[in-house]
Chains A and B, each alone.
Chain A
Amino acid sequence: MSNPGAATERLSRLLAMVPYLVTRQGIPLAEAAREFGITEEELVKDLELLFVCGTPGHMPDDLIDAEWDDGHVYLRNADTIARPLRLGIDEALALIVGLRALSEVPGVHDRDALERTMAKLEAAAGDAALTSAQVSVEVEGEAEVLAAARLALADSRRLHLTYFVPTRDETTERDVDPMRVVLMDGRWYLEGWCHRAEAVRLFRLDRVEAVKVLEVDAEVPPEATERDLDLGLFVPSPGDQQVVLELDPAAHWIADYYPIDSVEDLPDGRLLVALRAADTRWLRTLVLRQAGAARVLEPDDLRRAVHERAGAALAAYA
């Protein structure tokens, strides 16, 4: 067998799938597959499996009846498992802790809906909810900037930001049409259409020095799309410059933290890492911070810039 938990994992999915499909007769295959995070082929395999299962006797009338020929799913004769299995500890905990995190977002949200939801969820979870006190996600934020961003989102208004860009060590002024506010790795970001860059940009709220909601309607262009944040915060684009770094073990975290194109093991625990960057100034800073544990191999001007700045900085201590 490939994976010892594979069969029960799939059974869990099937037991959740049946009640969902039973109440949504005729749901398109593609939509159902998306809901379950599987491909249409996998969904069809699941339906084929359900089709041969049923109550003891296993005469045709006893079996679950599944149809999907016309691209829509119909599921019948599954009364025994038409109610979902109650929430497991992990399931209850994931939602309860998630809800708590939501309700702590500073100055936001429909309290009433959150409280109603939590009460019902705890009732539905029963004992499975008990462990949830042992896991906690602390959500802090720049309350003032968050509130302005929320207001602009709700009323679809343009924002003016005074924004600090650490890679250039300078403060910039820009108008942004907000798309959403996300918390990633403990930091809040505003994603929006930046009129200065004429592109979608993510702004870290703790770097916003001042914010103003303008009396102007936001106009997010149709071509603006939200970033898929599962890929991480830094998404290189094909036009970026290629950078090659050599990393000692003390700097290996760089390979985990930033999206890299390739990594190669070298002797003595060193790594050879290739990545792309539009603006290499942040890399200059990054390498200068590593006390020699990270070295630039390419491009040459970045390698020289690191060398020159380290030399110029040392001159002040001579």
Chain B
Amino acid sequence: MSALKTERLLNLVICLLSTRQFLAKEQIRAAVPQYADCASDEAFDRMFERDKEEVREMGIPLETGSNSAWFEDEVGYRVDRAAYALPEVAFEPDELAVLSLASRVWQQATLAGPASRALLKLKATGVEPDDSAIAGVEPRVGTSEPAFAGLYAAVRDRRPVTFPYRAGRTGDVVDRRLEPWGIVSWHGRWYVVGHDRDRKATRVFRLSRVEGPVHAVGRPGEVVVPAGVDIRREVAVLAWDQPRGEATLYVRPGAGVCLRRRATRESPGKAPGDWDEVVVGFSDPESLAAEIAGYGPDVVAATPDTVRDAVVRRLTAVLTAAS
């Protein structure tokens, strides 16, 4: 039952915080009432070892040491109070407002919980935020990609990972092995950047294309992030789909506003039937073809053939599926 365990761990933490001396295991057993229920010494030992580990994993600085220089084998435990407590930092009301906005950047999922807990700790001075300072602007970022939690943890703990990844062009799913350096939200999408162990080069992966569980394959701390690496720049360079070509489209007057907004050239009335000729750059013919198909009869792909053929194939598929 987890309430009993929480109670036991809380008493353990209070007990180890309230002592300046190192406490021997037997003293702790006597001081924390929940340990009294242990049926045997072995059961207590096992439970205490586990509890110690979990308390440390929470970030509580549980120290091991000895009170006497002559009897070093008498190992005891305590929590270093100075290392335990949040340093005394007094935030002003407008600063707390900024922090509370910063905590709301994280929507749901992985980092929203830690963000709001951190905020509560910082508010423990009793000061209330003054929200008027920065009201009205709210950047928020989602972490809905299932791979986020695993890759974030790998980046944080500097552990190599493997994951099944779907390639953008071919659609094939292949296991990739990566030493992750950082994780970046860019244009609303999450990317992980690092050293690809198979390609032996820096690579960027889009989290939404990770098709299965992320497995850590090494020890924490094993990944070394090269000095001076700028993870944002890496993502911006490697994730950006450079335009590979230009497509000429015929667009019905008044329609295709999205296409016109990014056109490199627009010639009103130059296309057959007094339609407008619009030239746009593209990197992936399939995704441009999908966009053109979405406009139905209002946009026609003229050149190149790759785009034109893709539009015809896609529209034919829609027609077949709808019949």
Question: What is the interface of chain A, defined by CB distance below 8 A to chain B?
Answer: 1-3, 6-8, 10-17, 19-20, 22-24, 35-37, 45, 49-50, 52-58, 80-81, 83-95, 97-99, 101-102, 105, 108-110, 113-114, 116-117, 120-121, 123-124, 126, 128, 131, 133-140, 150, 153-154, 164, 166, 169-171, 178-187, 229-230, 256, 284-293, 295-296, 303, 306-307, 309-317
Complex: chain B residue closest to A316, CB-CB: B300
* Chain B, range 88-141, C-beta contacts under 8 Å to A: 89, 91-92, 94-95, 97-99, 101-108, 111-112, 114-126, 133-141
B203 interface contact, C-beta 8 A: no
A53 touches B11 (CB 8 A): yes
B136 touches A154 (CB 8 A): yes
Known: A19-B124, A291-B313. A94 touches B6 (CB 8 A): no
B59 touches A313 (CB 8 A): no
B183 interface contact, C-beta 8 A: yes
Nearest 5 CB-CB pairs, A to B? A186-B188, A309-B296, A98-B102, A292-B317, A292-B321
B141 touches A108 (CB 8 A): no
Known: A121-B99, A140-B187. A316 touches B297 (CB 8 A): yes
Contact partner, A94, options B17, B106, B232, B323, Cβ 8 Å: B106
Contact partner, A90, options B111, B235, B314, Cβ 8 Å: B111
Tell me the complex Cα distance, A90–B157, Å. Answer: 11
B137 touches A95 (CB 8 A): no
Tally of contacts, chain A with chain B, CB under 8 A:
356
B54 interface contact, C-beta 8 A: yes
A124 touches B322 (CB 8 A): no
Question: What is the interface of chain B, defined by CB distance below 8 A to chain A?
Answer: 1-3, 5-7, 9-11, 13-15, 17-18, 30-33, 54-55, 57-60, 83-87, 89, 91-92, 94-95, 97-99, 101-108, 111-112, 114-126, 133-142, 144, 152, 155-156, 181-189, 225, 231-232, 235-236, 250, 254-258, 261, 290-291, 293-298, 300, 308, 311-323
Tell me the complex Cα distance, A83–B124, Å. Answer: 8
B137 touches A105 (CB 8 A): yes
* 15 residue pairs A–B, Cβ–Cβ below 8 Å: A22-B124, A36-B120, A53-B10, A85-B121, A88-B59, A91-B117, A95-B118, A121-B99, A135-B182, A136-B183, A136-B184, A137-B141, A164-B258, A183-B138, A313-B315
B290 touches A86 (CB 8 A): no
Contact partner, B101, options A56, A85, A102, A290, Cβ 8 Å: A102
Contact partner, A134, options B3, B231, B308, Cβ 8 Å: B231
B319 touches A311 (CB 8 A): yes
Q: Which residues of A contact B118 (CB under 8 A)?
A: 87, 91-92, 94-95
Complex: chain B residue closest to A309, CB-CB: B296
Complex: chain B residue closest to A24, CB-CB: B126
Interface centre among B11, B103, B125, B257 (most CB of A within 10 A): B257
A81 touches B13 (CB 8 A): yes
Q: Which residues of B contact A109 (CB under 8 A)?
A: 134, 137
B296 touches A313 (CB 8 A): yes
10 A-B pairs besides A102-B101, A134-B156, A134-B182 with CB distance below 8 A are A16-B124, A19-B121, A20-B121, A49-B6, A101-B105, A128-B59, A134-B231, A229-B107, A312-B296, A313-B315
Tell me the complex Cα distance, A98–B118, Å. Answer: 12
Known: A95-B99, A117-B91, A314-B315. A8 touches B9 (CB 8 A): yes
> Nearest chain B CB to A122's CB is how many angstroms away?
10
B105 touches A98 (CB 8 A): yes
Contact partner, B105, options A35, A91, A102, A230, Cβ 8 Å: A102
Contact partner, B14, options A81, A99, A121, A138, Cβ 8 Å: A81
Known: A11-B13, A102-B102, A312-B296. A134 touches B155 (CB 8 A): yes
> Nearest chain A CB to B310's CB is how many angstroms away?
9
Complex: chain A residue closest to B261, CB-CB: A164
Tell me the complex Cα distance, A306–B321, Å. Answer: 10
Contact partner, B99, options A20, A99, A133, Cβ 8 Å: A99
A180 touches B120 (CB 8 A): no
Contact partner, A110, options B106, B134, B184, B291, Cβ 8 Å: B134
A89 touches B156 (CB 8 A): yes
Q: Which residues of A contact B134 (CB under 8 A)?
A: 102, 109-110, 113
A98 touches B89 (CB 8 A): no
Tell me the complex Cα distance, A94–B143, Å. Answer: 12
B95 touches A120 (CB 8 A): yes
Tell me the complex Cα distance, A187–B107, Å. Answer: 14
Tell me the complex Cα distance, A53–B33, Å. Answer: 10
Tell me the complex Cα distance, A89–B158, Å. Answer: 13
Interface centre among B112, B114, B235, B261 (most CB of A within 10 A): B114
B322 touches A187 (CB 8 A): no
Contact partner, B58, options A3, A11, A99, A169, Cβ 8 Å: A11
A186 touches B98 (CB 8 A): no
> Nearest chain B CB to A45's CB is how many angstroms away?
8
Tell me the complex Cα distance, A185–B94, Å. Answer: 27
A91 touches B91 (CB 8 A): no
Interface centre among B13, B17, B120, B181 (most CB of A within 10 A): B120
A291 touches B120 (CB 8 A): no
B312 touches A317 (CB 8 A): yes
Tell me the complex Cα distance, A303–B183, Å. Answer: 41
Q: Which residues of B contact A17 (CB under 8 A)?
A: 120
Q: Which residues of B contact A23 (CB under 8 A)?
A: 124-126
Known: A84-B124, A110-B94. A93 touches B189 (CB 8 A): no
A88 touches B114 (CB 8 A): yes
B18 touches A55 (CB 8 A): yes
Known: A16-B117, A49-B10, A117-B98. A285 touches B58 (CB 8 A): no
Tell me the complex Cα distance, A37–B182, Å. Answer: 30
